Amino acid sequence: MTSNEERATSDETVGTIIDMHLHTTRGASDSDLRPEHLVVEARRVGLTGVHVSEHDRLWDAFELERFRKAHSDLFIANGMEVSTDLGHILVIGLDRYVPGIRRAEELRRVVQETGGYMIAAHPFRHFFDPVHFRPDKSGEPFSLTPDQAARLPVFQLVDAVEVLNGCNTLRENLFALRVAQVLGKPGTGGSDAHSALGIGVFATVFEKELESQEEMLAQLHAGRFHAAHGLREGALTRFTETSFDLLAGRQGEAAKG
């Protein structure tokens, strides 16, 4: 790992800092997070943007615009977390839910037509948990290498991989990072928060300040972003194989000082 890959995000060009995976009471029945509480907590932890990604639905366009105007100091994007036959996929760029997109290949076709963007969400959640994971009901544990996992069908369809998810274990996130590296695809970060707890624990850092969702899409397609952690601790850090150890070391030194 080179020093450039390990350096803190604070030493790099930092534009809009977005939690890319959030669910609110406005569109997710399993969420306790009210939109008004989302923006308050986002500001408190240092986010400059949020991407609301409800399950299989978008906010009403009028309500979204009104919410944006009421909170114009924050960049507010709205996408979906689409449930597909190949797992959950974060989608940016659709203006409505389209029938048939529960099939991932159809989702890819629709997104391709609209110029949208697809991110494999928490792709390895529970994969290392023998209680939850049953790949073929045989009870055999997950044993694929990153190179082998990179050949799974979902990764042939998406543009990026969610390598930091706030509801995943570090092992699951690190494996997602390794798969993204094998694929040569960028990684995003998001809390997957369903309450105010954990908002901003992981984030996606864009290289420039975003002015519109169209600009966000362009930056996603250009790959001008990276996954990061440490924002809530005041030590925003690019996610790498060793970044959690480096961050812990810096915090330990600060505590000694």
The domain spans of the chain are 3-256
Helix (DSSP H) and strand (DSSP E) numbers for the chain = 9, 10
Mean pLDDT of 101-127: 97
| pTM, to two decimals | 0.90
Mean pLDDT of 128-152: 79
pLDDT range class, residue 139, cuts 50, 70, 90: low
Separation of alpha carbons 227 and 20, rounded Å: 10
Q: Per DSSP, what are the bridge partners of residue 226?
A: 205
Separation of alpha carbons 23 and 55, rounded Å: 8
Separation of alpha carbons 80 and 107, rounded Å: 12
Task: Report the pLDDT value the prediction gives residue 160, as an integer from 0 to 100.
Answer: 98
Separation of alpha carbons 92 and 77, rounded Å: 9
What would the pLDDT profile of 23-77 be if each residue is shown by its tens digit?
999 877 788 999 999 999 999 999 999 999 999 999 999 999 999 999 999 999 9
Looking at the predicted structure, is the pLDDT value of residue 102 above 70? yes
Task: Report the pLDDT value the prediction gives residue 30, as an integer from 0 to 100.
Answer: 82
Residue 224 tokens, joined: 């001008």
Residues 6+ apart with CB under 8 A from 93: 79, 111, 114, 115, 116, 117, 217
What would the pLDDT profile of 207-233 be if each residue is shown by its tens digit?
999 999 999 999 999 999 999 999 999
What would the pLDDT profile of 147-204 be if each residue is shown by its tens digit?
999 999 999 999 999 999 999 999 999 999 999 999 999 999 999 999 999 999 999 9
Angle at 231 between CA 44 and CA 202, to 5 degrees: 105
DSSP 8-state assignment for residue 50: E
Please report, for residues 8, 27, 89, 140, the alpha-carbon distance to residue 129 in angstroms, rounded to integers and kept in the order given.
31, 29, 21, 11
CATH topology assigned to domain 3-256: TIM Barrel (3.20.20)
Residues 6+ apart with CB under 8 A from 86: 104, 153, 154, 157
Task: Report the pLDDT value the prediction gives residue 35, as an integer from 0 to 100.
Answer: 97
Please report, for residues 120, 159, 212, 245, the alpha-carbon distance to residue 85 in angstroms, rounded to integers and kept in the order given.
12, 17, 31, 36
Judge residue 126's burial from the number of C-beta atoms within 10 Å of its C-beta, 0-12 exposed, 13-18 middle, 19 or more buried. Answer: middle
Pairwise pLDDT comparison (249 vs 212), residue with the higher score: 212
